[in-house]
């Protein structure tokens, strides 16, 4: 969209776009862009929150009051999330066994991904598509990058010139999308809120994201620190989740 914006502007049509991957947008340098710290596939935040979505839209449209840039602004408000102690929650996926957890977070994460494989395969067959794949061709590649980051020996980003921040953000986005898509394939027509609560309260993947957030906050790498503040954990979850 950023490149298309340049062509449209040359024809006299002002443009503004929402960005979900800041580093990519910064490289393209579109005329006007608003970076939002939301998960991939949700450029306006969470479903069903019209007031929040309107605030995002107003912030985007306000960019038209500015002269053509390149202009890239950050949206400071994180997407809301329901309180994790809200009632009516039914766990969509129960992970069997605790042996993996006893061997550490990395093995617990790998074990969960294996247990979700059949459900994610069902989701893929039903929908014919998946949002997993922004980091690499398989979720296992994203898992191993996350694990290397947790071990303080991060793998080299998969694309030359990609920052460490972009790499770990994409790996985490793939991991979260995999869990959400797999859980949605479970019977019962689970709501997005139920899946959200399950993910943040019951999974090793959520514990891994919290650990990565702490690593990013303590890093001197300028591509990592913003992730710890805005991008990896929804603010409402970070403030409400028991640690």
pLDDT (tens digit per residue) in 45-67: 877 889 999 999 999 999 998 87
Instruction: Please count the structural domains in the chain.
Output: 2
Dist. CA 168–CA 231, nearest whole Å: 11
Beta partners for residue 122, in sequence order:
none
Task: Evaluate whether residue 59 is within a structural domain.
Answer: yes
Phi, psi of 74 (to 5 degrees): -100, 135
Residues 214 and 157 in one domain: yes
Pairing state between β 32-35 and 71-74: parallel
Task: Evaluate whether residue 84 is within a structural domain.
Answer: no
Sign (positive or negative) of CA dihedral 132, 135, 136, 139:
negative
Taking the model in full, what pTM does it have?
0.66
Q: Which residue has the higher pLDDT, 52 or 226?
A: 52
Contact call for residues 185 and 119 (beta carbons, < 8 A): yes
Structure confidence by residue, pLDDT tens digits, 145-180: 999 999 989 999 999 989 999 999 999 999 999 999
What is the arithmetic mean of pLDDT over 212-216?
Answer: 93
Residues 148 and 202 in one domain: yes
Residues 117 and 172 in one domain: yes
Residue 48, pLDDT score: 80
Q: How confident is the model at residue 211 (pLDDT cuts 50, 70, 90)?
A: very high
Q: Worst-scoring range by mean pLDDT, 14-28, 198-212, 214-228? A: 14-28
Residue 82 reports pLDDT greater than 70: no
Residue 23 reports pLDDT greater than 80: no
Residues 121 and 215 in one domain: yes
Q: Which residue has the higher pLDDT, 147 or 24?
A: 147
Task: Evaluate whether residue 87 is within a structural domain.
Answer: no
What is the arithmetic mean of pLDDT over 29-47?
Answer: 82
The percent of residues in the chain predicted with pLDDT above 70, rounded, is: 85
Residues 197 and 113 in one domain: yes
Residue 130 reports pLDDT greater than 50: yes
Phi, psi of 43 (to 5 degrees): -65, -15
Phi, psi of 174 (to 5 degrees): -65, -45
Contact call for residues 153 and 121 (beta carbons, < 8 A): no
The percent of residues in the chain predicted with pLDDT above 90, rounded, is: 43
Structural domain range at position 165:
99-240
Contact call for residues 235 and 198 (beta carbons, < 8 A): no
Residues 31 and 143 in one domain: no
Report the run of H or E that residue 58 belongs to, with start and end.
helix 50-61
Residue 45, pLDDT score: 83
């Amino acid at each position: 969209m950023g490149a298309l914006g340049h062509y449209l502007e040359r024809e006299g049509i002002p443009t503004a776009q929402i960005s979900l991957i800041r580093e990519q947008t910064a490289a393209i340098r579109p005329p006007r862009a608003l970076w939002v710290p939301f998960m991939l596939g949700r450029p306006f935040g969470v479903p069903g929150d019209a007031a929040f979505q309107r605030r995002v839209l107003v912030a985007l449209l306000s960019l038209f009051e500015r002269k053509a840039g390149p202009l890239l602004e950050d949206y400071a408000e994180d997407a809301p999330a329901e309180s994790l102690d809200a009632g009516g929650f039914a766990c969509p996926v129960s992970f069997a066994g605790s042996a993996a957890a006893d061997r550490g977070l990395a093995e617990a994460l790998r074990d969960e991904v294996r247990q979700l494989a059949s459900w994610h395969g069902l989701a893929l067959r039903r929908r014919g598509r998946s949002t997993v794949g922004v980091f690499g061709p398989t979720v296992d590649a994203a898992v191993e990058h996350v694990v290397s980051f947790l071990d303080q020996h991060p793998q080299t980003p998969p694309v030359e010139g990609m920052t460490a921040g972009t790499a770990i953000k994409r790996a985490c986005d793939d991991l979260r999308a995999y869990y959400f898509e797999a859980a949605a394939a479970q019977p019962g027509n689970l709501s997005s809120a139920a899946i959200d609560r399950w993910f943040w309260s019951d999974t090793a993947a959520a514990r891994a994201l919290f650990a990565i957030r702490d690593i990013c906050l303590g890093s001197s790498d300028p591509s990592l620190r913003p992730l710890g503040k805005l991008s990896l954990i929804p603010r409402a979850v970070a403030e409400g989740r028991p640690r």
